[in-house]
Amino acid sequence: MNQAAKTLLERIKTDGAIDGQVIKVDLFLNHMVDTGLMRLIARELANRFADRQIDKILTAETSGIMLAQAVAEELDVPFIYAKKKKPLTMVDYYAAASYSFTKQESTTLYVSKEVLFPEERLLFIDDFFARGSTLKAIEEIVDQSHTVLVGKAVIINKGEREDVESILTMGDLK
């Protein structure tokens, strides 16, 4: 197990909790944020994509943003966060709906046409992969924008998709 995985697992044991399928990480990942831990996780994930010619990182509001920024710094590329509310200044945009089973609500993700260009190579980043509805919406935006999704990476992969890179899976938490 790599250092990022060991450190995160230890932190979940001391400061987190696992309640069935829901992992409480809001003392270090998605409410109060341990930037050192985030950097360690970002370095591990960025290393896996270092030679993949990533042009931009793409994530979704809100909790994906901190990791996306940390990975973007490591790879020295910009990151984009899809917005859940369309700003007045966003005139031309790509949009896709996503239903969160965890939160039982539907949201639409918006990305301005000014920030994505055809053929650009993107890396999707998020905190959790659960049912995959966020990734599905992101994949729709990738299709609409004729960009290329080179990779997908999250901190904790709770799903079955093996093409989603992660630091920990549900199996590691048992």
Closer Cβ to ligand G4P, 74 or 132, answer by number: 132
Distance (Å, whole) CA 10 – CA 5: 8
Decide: is 4 part of the binding site for ligand G4P (CB under 6 A): no
* Residue 15 Cβ vs ligand G4P, minimum distance, rounded to whole Å: 13
Decide: is 101 part of the binding site for ligand G4P (CB under 6 A): yes
Tell me which amino acid residue 117 is: F
Decide: is 68 part of the binding site for ligand G4P (CB under 6 A): no
# chain residues binding ligand G4P, by CB under 6 A: 21
Decide: is 97 part of the binding site for ligand G4P (CB under 6 A): no
Decide: is 2 part of the binding site for ligand G4P (CB under 6 A): no
Distance (Å, whole) CA 56 – CA 71: 10
* Residue 29 Cβ vs ligand G4P, minimum distance, rounded to whole Å: 8
* Contacts of ligand G4P in 122-151 (CB under 6 A): 127-134
Binding residue for ligand G4P, selected from 22, 32, 97, 148, defined by CB under 6 A: 22
Instruction: Write the DSSP assignment of 96-157 as a string of letters.
Output: EEEEETTTTEEEEEEEETTT--TT-EEEEEEEEESSSHHHHHHHHHHHHHT-EEEEEEEEEE
* Residue 117 Cβ vs ligand G4P, minimum distance, rounded to whole Å: 25
Task: Please work out, in degrees rounded to the nearest 5, the angle formed at the alpha carbon of residue 128 by the alpha carbons of 89 and 62.
Answer: 25
- Cα distances (angstroms) measured from residue 88 to each of 34, 81, 85, 91: 33, 17, 9, 7
User: Phi first, then psi: what are they for 110, rounded to 5°?
Assistant: -120, 135
Binding residue for ligand G4P, selected from 61, 73, 120, 139, defined by CB under 6 A: 61
Closer Cβ to ligand G4P, 7 or 63, answer by number: 63
Tell me which amino acid residue 112 is: S
The contact set with ligand G4P (CB under 6 A) reads 22-23, 25, 30, 60-63, 100-103, 127-134, 158
